[in-house]
Structure 1
Amino acid sequence: MEGTGYRDRIGRLVEPGERVLAYAKVEPAHGAPPPPPPDAAGPEAAAGRVSAGAVLLNLVSPLVSWAWGDRLVDRVVWGIAGRGAPGSAASRLGHALRPPEPDLAVRDTLLVATDRRLLVCVSGPRKMLSSRADDERSVAETGIAWSASRTEVASARVGWHRLNPKRLRLDFADGSWLAFTVPIVEPGRPLRDVAAALTG
């Protein structure tokens, strides 16, 4: 495991006797995500047809957007980042990482494989020009955003997607899936360690 400063914090988040096998700092993959769970769908998600002009506005100005247009643009530019029915494991995980209310803070996302569960943790807010105390506060505020038992994870594999060779695809037992990446300049070994720990 890489020494990112999160190792001790993750050790405090797991249950007594639970062993951390691997973790990686990740980003949800760009692309069209699975639909949100039924209880999280707002009026915008239930909207009907949207004109071609609305889609064009999504491309031209990120300040003028509709959820439907965003999904179409994501699908065309980035591809598919996950699939699953509303309420599936991928749907719930994706929604946990993209809360309905905008959060403009920069946060780290961690995938943690233990001998019992898959944990998805989110750090506290991070500052662009941070001091060591700021970084320690962000790590100390890291918490579990979502978890699933190992039996819910059907497979995990790292492979190429378009120009990115480091994309982790998590397949769940209910048939849904969601993808994660690391920045292109960062090593892919932590992702491969998480995939190996989940499938081993």
Structure 2
Amino acid sequence: MDGSRYRDRIGQLVEPGERVLAYAKADTAKGAPPPLPLDAAKPEAPVGRLSIGAALLNLISPLISWGWGDRLVDRILWGIAGRGDPGAAASRLHHALDPPRPELAVRDILIVATDRRLLVCVSGPMKLLSSREDDERSVDETGIAWSASRAEVASARVGWHRLNPKRLRIDFTDGSWLSFTVPIAESGGPLRAVAAALPD
């Protein structure tokens, strides 16, 4: 779904007088994420030989998975997608977009820079073979999943990461950071506009 379809809905989500500077449809970058917040449910980590076996099984078959193995495979294949202490801005943002027990529905993620805040919005669930009404319902159900004041954002930039030249990295003033990407075939212009609209 084209990100421009969300323009009116984003305008409804901001506060009165708040001005939208830029927005982009993106996905959280693949790779090792920041740790979960302290109050989040943590998956149990296997120990000893089971740990090595879990990592190998994750590489061999995506249907067999352990949280620890997933994190190791992500680190090897994709690198680091975010850093920060548990409960830091990047930790809370990633947890808001990727809860421990995610639903199977596909949703769009929108990064929105306003003159007051950084907003991360999530669309309503989408269907693989959707009608126009389904698409409109998904847009209408879009809501704010996480927000931070502009003062909490230290910088934002778009650059290369491995084979992807369009990776948006948002650094927060608490020292944490999180990355977002778009598919190679899509334009990186909206991500660059968001980066330009956030503090340097």
User: How far apart are 1:63 and its partner, in Å?
Assistant: 1.8
Partner of 1:62: 62
After superposition, the C-alpha distances for 1:133-182 in whole angstroms (9 at most, x for unaligned) are 11000000000000000000000000000000000000000000000001
- Structure 1's consecutive aligned runs of 4 or more residues displaced over 2 angstroms after TM superposition are 47-51
After superposition, the C-alpha distances for 1:5-50 in whole angstroms (9 at most, x for unaligned) are 10000000000000000000000000000010011032426x5554
Q: What is the CA–CA distance in structure 2 between the aligned matches of 1:130 and 1:16, rounded to whole Å?
A: 33
Q: How many residues align?
A: 198
Match runs of 1:65-84 below 5 Å = 65-84=65-84
Partner of 1:137: 137
Seen in structure 2, the aligned counterparts of structure 1 residues 136 and 93 have a Cα distance that, compared at 3 Å, is same
TM-score normalised per structure 1: 0.95
User: Which deviates more, 72-81 or 56-65?
Assistant: 56-65
Gaps of 5+ in 2: none
What is the DSSP-based 3-state SS (H/G/I as helix, E as strand, rest coil) of the residue aligned with 1:156? strand
Partner of 2:128: 128
Partner of 2:119: 119
User: How far apart are 1:102 and its partner, in Å?
Assistant: 2.4
Partner of 1:183: 183
What is the DSSP-based 3-state SS (H/G/I as helix, E as strand, rest coil) of the residue aligned with 1:126? coil
Q: Is the 8 A contact 2:166 2:181 kept in 1?
A: yes
Q: What is the CA–CA distance in structure 2 between the aligned matches of 1:75 and 1:91, rounded to whole Å?
A: 17
What is the DSSP-based 3-state SS (H/G/I as helix, E as strand, rest coil) of the residue aligned with 1:178? strand
User: Which deviates more, 99-108 or 49-58?
Assistant: 49-58
User: How far apart are 1:60 and its partner, in Å?
Assistant: 1.1
1:174 aligns with 2:174: yes
1:10 aligns with 2:13: no
Partner of 2:99: 99
User: How far apart are 1:199 and its partner, in Å?
Assistant: 2.3
Q: What amino acid maps onto 2:39 in structure 1? A: D
User: How far apart are 1:52 and its partner, in Å?
Assistant: 1.3
User: Which deviates more, 64-73 or 50-59?
Assistant: 50-59
1:36 aligns with 2:56: no
User: Which deviates more, 138-147 or 55-64?
Assistant: 55-64
1:151 aligns with 2:154: no
- Superposition RMSD on alpha carbons, in Å? 1.4
Q: What is the CA–CA distance in structure 2 between the aligned matches of 1:48 and 1:56, rounded to whole Å?
A: 14
